[in-house]
Structure 1
Amino acid sequence: MSREEGGVVLRRRLSCTTCFDALWFCYSPVHQMQQYYRIGTLDNCSEKWNALVDCLNLKTKSAVELEEILETREKVTPPHIWSLRTPEEARSHWEELFGRLDERE
């Protein structure tokens, strides 16, 4: 996403380092043993390879094209599993779910 600060347009920089690090860690004995313990199979790291190849392909795109692709991906991406609430929202949600427990019988 490009931002304007002081009349200068700042473009995001795409770095594939995180994808490479994730792929490197995927082949580590620690990760493979965790996968074997949790799931019962070793990880073939195909998702990590796909992410790295996708990142490298995006590096070949022009800046305008890259911005469009990243913006459409952000719109399509589902919201994070943990939604942050303000204290007031948290209180009302708690009351809605568990308010009946405070009532005396």
Structure 2
Amino acid sequence: MQPARIMDPKEKPEATSSPPPPRLDCIKCFDMLWFCYSPFHQMQNYYRHGEFDNCFGKWGDLVDCLTLKTKRAAEVEEILIAREKAKPHIWTYRTVDEASENWWRMYKHFVMLSRPLSSSAQLRPKSNES
């Protein structure tokens, strides 16, 4: 039996060419579900969105994680990599027209509920959709 090799502090460990495979951790899903039912999260959600969080999404994430735990490791790795590639990039680049349409779609109700604008400011013309 060979003695354990002690690595010299100046020596660097072997670098791998690919990133480590994604790891499935259901404890994080359970923690997020637990936090979802906390009074702090519920009041924060009520303050921000005007309604309490029903936590259905967190339940779905936990069930999905537990379901993936029943599959083979190679199959799970393939599914997680496919999901990571399918996620939209954090920065969505839009043209000026696309950005304007998106802004109006998201915030039109705030503009319509606010006080009337001064005569120098004009509302965007109504489009055919609504």
- Normalising to structure 2: TM-score of the pair? 0.53
State the aligned residue count. Answer: 77
1:74 equivalent in structure 2: 84
Distance 2:21 2:60 in 1: 24
Distance 1:17 1:43 in 2: 20
Out of 45, 48, 71, the residue aligned to residue 58 of structure 2 is 48
Q: Which runs of 4+ in 1 moved over 6 A?
A: none
Distance 1:22 1:50 in 2: 11
**1:15 paired to 2:25:** yes
Q: Larger % of helix: which?
A: 1
SS at match of 2:88: coil
Q: Larger % of strand: which?
A: 1
Unaligned 5+ runs, structure 1 = 83-105
Report the alpha carbon displacement of residue 52 of structure 1 after superposing the two structures with TM. 0.5
Report the alpha carbon displacement of residue 13 of structure 1 after superposing the two structures with TM. 3.2
Task: Encode CA deviations 1:36-94: one digit per residue, 9 max, x unaligned.
Answer: 11111110000100000000001111011111101111111111249xxxxxxxxxxxx
2:72 equivalent in structure 1: 62
Distance 2:64 2:51 in 1: 25
Counterpart amino acid of 2:32? Answer: A
